[in-house]
Amino acid sequence: MTIRQGRLPSPPNAYDQRWANQLVRQLEQNISATNLAASSSRYTVTNVTTDRALDADSTSTAELADVLGTLITDLRERGVIG
């Protein structure tokens, strides 16, 4: 059975230890690849005032930068980006 990156093996009709081992290996590989991708390029955010409200009709460049910086910080804390 060939495993492609990001795809998990289909479950068998009956319990199969080989399938369970293969599933664990694939999950570990996917997690490792995700962590590597998240940590390879890091964003650096400085001088950000936390701002989660953006008025698209009336904004400034500084407010837009604060909202973007807050978003990057939040995503980094959740492990979504590096």
Give pLDDT tens digits for 18-65. 888 888 888 888 777 776 665 656 778 899 999 999 888 888 999 999
Number of domains in the chain: 1
Residue 15 located in a structural domain: no
Nearest-angstrom CA–CA distance, 34 and 32: 5
Task: Identify the residue with better confidence: 70 or 12.
Answer: 70
Q: pTM of the entire structure? A: 0.52
Q: Cα torsion at 71, 75, 78, 82 (round to 10°)?
A: -140
Residue 2 located in a structural domain: no
pLDDT at res. 1: 41
Residue 71 located in a structural domain: yes
Within the chain, how many helices (H) and strands (E) appear? 2, 0
Residue 82 located in a structural domain: yes
Q: Please name the amino acid found at residue 14.
A: A
Which residue range(s) make up the domain with 49? 42-82
